[in-house]
Amino acid sequence: MIAITGATGHIGNALLREPFLEGKKLRALVPPSEDFSCIKDLDVEIVSGDLRDMDSLILAFTGAEVVYHLAGIVSIGSGKKRLLHEVNVNGTKNVIDACIETKVKRLVYVSSIHAFTEPPHGTPILENKDFDESKVVGNYGKSKAEATKEVFKAVDRGLDAVILHPTGVIGPYEYKLSNTGQLIVDFVNRRLAAYIDGAYDFVDVRDVARGIVLACERGRKGENYILSGEQITVKRILEILQEETGLMAPKLKVPFWLAKLTAPLSELYYMIRKQQPLYTSYSIFTLASNSLTTHKKAAQELGYSARPIRESIKDTLAWLQENGKIPLCPAATH
């Protein structure tokens, strides 16, 4: 049996639909206040629990041979420091202790590319085991670095664990819109008047799901693997969206200095609208940062591969349309 935390999230939804897991007995840990309608019709046992509640973790993991730990708070905003630490760090410590207590045979922990200390531009981010939250920018990245460090400590204690580091995740099954999903929705609804250029590496959520399964089957104990996709500029993403929808991409590019200056107001605007913020001080920093990386190690050891970013964008558009999150037939404006 496989126990999964974070099953209602973006990666969790893709993982529960991963063909390699078809026929497997799956159990999903879902917080009591979480809406699990997106997975209720899938062949999965749903149990109520919280990463901060050891008793619920032990109950969820009892009888499991494998635990996929996906749950965590993802935030590019300036707040939530305490919650990020409670869930991402202390919650991961609890997952580790519960795995040891229930004699789970393997833990697969989904960390983040943000957990690594960023090297200078031109130098690719590669797998290493030197995680230091004090050298990482942003509360989210710091929490993932610290949590990753705890998993490596647990390996030294005897736990069989493998760690994965996805880059920016994109793709179908966005029941709760991510920042990238919000960008696509705003583009189609013509709410995007300007853009901030910069680049990042994006990976399809379905490739991440497949990578998780491959890591469980083939990953070496105590090793970590980057699950990357394709590095692409924001401008190129918008060009692909224009080509796929017939809608004109914004031509106005906001300079980084102005974006940094207005980031707090942008974050407040999206908070009022109760939407994922497109641009915050952290996301602007990320777009200007070094996102050069490679999944060579995962390809060689796990058999991992990633599809082209255009396919991911096209499939994301189709899924958002099918699920009523954007108009079915956007009108061309050129």
Interval 179-235: pLDDT, tens: 889 899 999 999 888 888 889 999 999 999 999 999 999 999 999 999 999 999 999
- Bridge partners, residue 46, by sequence: 28
- Looking at domain 2-170+204-229+292-306, its CATH superfamily turns out to be NAD(P)-binding Rossmann-like Domain (3.40.50.720)
Residue ranges of the chain with per-residue pLDDT less than 50: 330-334
Per-residue confidence (pLDDT) for residue 156, from 0 to 100: 96
Helix then strand then coil, in percent of the chain rounded to 5, is 45, 15, 40
pTM listed for this prediction: 0.92
Per-residue confidence (pLDDT) for residue 295, from 0 to 100: 98
Name the strand (E) or helix (H) holding 100. Answer: helix 91-101
- Residue whose token pair is 């399964």: 213
Per-residue confidence (pLDDT) for residue 196, from 0 to 100: 87
- Work out whether strand 161-166 and strand 224-227 pair parallel, antiparallel, or are unpaired: parallel
- Bridge partners, residue 69, by sequence: 5, 109
Could you state, in order of their start, the residue ranges of all structural domains in the chain?
Answer: 2-170+204-229+292-306
- Work out whether strand 230-233 and strand 199-204 pair parallel, antiparallel, or are unpaired: antiparallel
Per-residue confidence (pLDDT) for residue 331, from 0 to 100: 43
Per-residue confidence (pLDDT) for residue 189, from 0 to 100: 92
Per-residue confidence (pLDDT) for residue 277, from 0 to 100: 66
Per-residue confidence (pLDDT) for residue 300, from 0 to 100: 98
- Bridge partners, residue 172, by sequence: none
